Structure 1
Amino acid sequence: MHTRQAVELHGVTRRYGTGERAVTALDRVSVGFAPASFTAVMGPSGSGKSTLLHCAAGLDEVSDGSVLVDGVELGPLRQKARTRLRRDRIGFVFQAFNLVGALTAAQNVELPLRLAGRRAAPGQVEAMLAEVGLADRAGHRPGELSGGQQQRVAIARALATRPVVVFADEPTGALDAAASREVLRLLRAAVDRHAQTVVMVTHDPLAAAYADRVLFLADGVIVEDLHGPSGAGQIATRMAALS
């Protein structure tokens, strides 16, 4: 039986500009991300990693091909329906945390639910913060938290709606080694404990080693699809060969 993929890209091309100045950021990419899987997306600068993430999340229009999230094709959706789908079924974790500075940690975690017109179940927000080790920081604003703590709040926020997929764009890019390990451990636990699907863009082989699968991009195409846990050394060697 073919189980439905959390996210599917079919022949996705993304071009920027026109004529001779056109740049093809993604070139006929077809790939699926299974439920309860953790995929790292790697490649040299300009290889199309972030474009892949943005197209898969419906943040960027595709020039050709189709993207399905939870079986729903994004292309035909009007802006409002697409926004609703992103809000309900997709979680985001960015390098820059993107927390709302005026809100407390608890209010930031609750925000996606409120935007979706849903109320958090009693104790839900507290439980989410406890899961990322920040039960005692619920009333703190982002400015009162370290970078690692802010990113953990961002992870709790991304998981609040129990989305179909969480897209993480360089989630450890601004963090030191200890905070990075904590963030990656939480993403790994979301997959193992809650059957969450995580797709993470990273340039760090140590981060990619937490994933079940590593996709390598070069010049807008997938050049290697490494399944099964890989050591950071093996990943670094593959990356070096592409750079």
Structure 2
Amino acid sequence: MLEPVTTTLQTRQAVELWSVIRRFGAGEHTVTALDHITVGFAPASFTAVMGPSGSGKSTLLHCAAGLDRVTEGKVLIDGVDLTPLSEKALTRVRRERVGFVFQAFNLVGALTAEQNVELPLRLAGRRAAPGQVRSMLREVGLGDRATHRPSELSGGQQQRVAIARALVTEPAVLFADEPTGALDNTASREVLRLLRSAVDRHAQTVVMVTHDPLAAAHADRVLFLADGAIVDELREPRGAEQIASRMAHLETRDLR
């Protein structure tokens, strides 16, 4: 049986999970999706989260982002403890300190690329600085697509709009849930290049769930989950082959 990896957090992190448990259901139907997870994500770092199906990857991401409440333990984003917050206060933290990129893009079809990028600022009651939104679109290579609606953009272009939207509020952390899952190889490489650039050029913190070793190879650190616990960690991965080997090890070990 694989033993959980124990993490000690000694310095301030962009995101911190302390002894987090997340259970679903009740009584004999209770399922423990996360089991006493303590982990931190440092500022200006890129972490990939991997694991077999049902290992708790998406639950970890949703709890860390404040999209889901933990059953026990606590989550901090940029030093703010999410645990005691009301829904209204939690929504405000997410708007101000969290960016999220989904596999399905989640753009508003009736809005242009520029309006989609500006939307988080408007929801937060903030005005975009002059040229801010167009600058973000240029940053992701879509300066000439500002007035296009999602239906007029390719899948890769839509995901780049989603990245610009996630970054426009200058969040403490950007979470990405399988951001390349719906893209071809060329579009995937461009999306991963943008996420890597956000870390290297703008000191952004990125946490990405992925099943793809090629995607995970862009990260500084890879966390491996099994049965709701972090069971392995790879720092400064040497490439997709090394990551795939670790994943194969997890999937073939007896985890009972």
Residue matched to 1:64: 72
* Correspondence 1:207 to 2:232: no
* Matched residue, 1:26: 34
Q: In the TM superposition, what is the alpha-carbon distance from 1:3 to its structure 2 partner?
A: 4.0
Query: 1:242 Cα deviation (Å)?
Result: 1.0
Give the corresponding residue for 1:14.
22
Determine if the alignment matches structure 1 residue 122 to structure 2 residue 130.
yes
Local SS of the residue matching 2:43: coil
Look up the equivalent residue of 1:96 and give its one-letter code.
A
Structure 2 counterparts to residues 155-234 of structure 1, below 5 A:
155-234=163-242
| Structure-2 residue corresponding to 1:41 | 49
Give, in whole Å, the separation in 2 of the partners of 1:16 and 1:178: 38
Q: How far apart are the structure 1 equivalents of 2:84 and 2:78?
A: 15
How many Å apart are 1:27 and its aligned residue? 0.2
Cα offset for 1:229? 3.2
RMSD: 0.7
SS in 2 for 1:80: helix
Q: Distance in 2 between matches of 1:120 and 1:230?
A: 40
Shift of 1:21: 1.0
Deviation sequence 1:93-120 (CA, Å, 0-9, x none): 0000000000000000000011111111
Where 2:19 maps in the other structure, the secondary structure is: strand
Q: Does 1:135 align with 2:143?
A: yes
Secondary structure of the 2:130 match is coil
Distance in 2, matches of 1:181 and 1:165, equals 21
User: For this pair of structures, how many residues does the alignment match?
Assistant: 242
Matches of 2:83 and 2:43, distance apart in 1: 21
Structure 2 counterparts to residues 68-147 of structure 1, below 5 A: 68-147=76-155
TM-score by length of 2: 0.94
**In the TM superposition, what is the alpha-carbon distance from 1:226 to its structure 2 partner?**
1.0
Q: Distance in 2 between matches of 1:33 and 1:9?
A: 9
Structure 2 Cα separation of the partners of residues 163 and 111 of structure 1: 14
SS in 2 for 1:187: helix
Partner secondary structure for residue 39 of structure 2: strand
5+ residue gaps in structure 1?
none
Matched-pair identity in %: 80
Match of 2:161 among 153, 162, 166: 153
Question: Which ranges in structure 2 are unaligned for 5 or more consecutive residues?
Answer: 1-9, 252-256
1:5 equivalenced with 2:13 (yes/no): yes
Secondary structure of 1:10's counterpart equals strand
Q: 1-side partners of 2:22 and 2:237: how far apart?
A: 30
**CA offset digits 1:48-72 (Å, max 9, x no partner):** 0000000001111111111000111
Q: Distance in 1 between matches of 2:183 and 2:56?
A: 23
